Amino acid sequence: MLDEEMANAINIQLNAELYSGYLYLSMAAYFESTDLSGFANWMRVQAQEELSHAMKFYDYLVQRGARVTLTEIEAPPTEWDSTIAVFEHVYEHEQMVTGLINKLVDLAISISDHATNNFLQWYVAEQVEEEESASGVLQKVKLAGEDSSGLLMLDQELGTRVFHPPAQE
C-alpha cells in the first residue's frame, strides 16, 4: 500500500500531466489557426506524450493500491504573441514539470519509499529529454526569427514527428 502523502502527491502530479496535455493541445490549435500544421503536429505529439505520462501515474497508483483522484483541469492559454513565445512557454513549462518531478523524488526519499523512487527515475530521465527537445526547437525557432522560409522549413521538419508510446514495464 502506498503512503497516503505519496499517493496525494502523485495524484497532484497526474493532474499536472493532464494539464500539460491540455496545454499542448491548445498550442496545437493555435498553430492550426496560423496554418503551421507541422508545428501543430509537434504539439499534438507532445500532448499524447503528456497523456501517456499521466496514465503511467494512474496505473502506478492503482498498482500500489491507492485511489486515483482526478481534479478540475485549468483552462490553458489559447493565444501567444509569436512562435518564439509559444516555445519559450513550452521550455518554461517543461522546467516547471522537472521541478515537480524532483519534489516527488525528494518526498519518496524522505519517507524511504524506494519503490516509488525507482518508479520516478523514469520521469527524471524523461524530463531531461523533454527539456532538451523543447530547448532545441526553441533555438531553431529563434534562428528562423521572422524569416518565413525558415519557419516553413522548420514547420516541415516538425511535421514528421511521430508519437512513440513509452515501453511497458
> Tens digit of pLDDT per residue, the chain (169 long)?
899 999 999 999 999 999 999 999 999 999 999 999 999 999 999 999 999 999 999 999 999 999 999 999 999 999 999 999 999 999 999 999 999 999 999 999 999 999 999 999 999 999 999 999 999 999 999 999 888 999 999 999 999 999 998 876 5
Full residue range of the structural domain in which residue 106 is found:
4-71+79-158
Considering its fold, how many domains does the chain have in total?
1
Say what the alpha-carbon torsion angle 18, 23, 27, 28 is, to the nearest 10 degrees.
10
Q: Give pairs for 82-85: CB < 8 Å, separation 24+.
A: 83/36, 83/39, 83/141, 83/151, 84/138, 84/141, 84/142
Residue 54 lies in a domain: yes
Residue 166 lies in a domain: no
The pLDDT, as a whole number, for residue 168 is: 64
Which position has the grid cell 526547437?
137
pLDDT value, residue 146: 81
Residue 51 within any structural domain of the chain: yes
According to the model, what pLDDT value does residue 1 have? 87
Q: Would you state the pLDDT for residue 147?
A: 85
CATH number of the domain where residue 147 is located: 1.20.1260.10
Q: Count H helices, E strands: the chain?
A: 5, 0
Does this model's pTM top 0.85?
yes
Residue 169 lies in a domain: no
Contact call for residues 30 and 73 (beta carbons, < 8 A)? no
Q: Is residue 97 part of a domain?
A: yes
pLDDT at residue 166 in the model: 83
Assigned C-alpha cell, 144 = 528562423
168 domain residue, yes or no: no
* Residue 44 is assigned to a structural domain of this protein: yes
**Residue 23 included in any domain:** yes
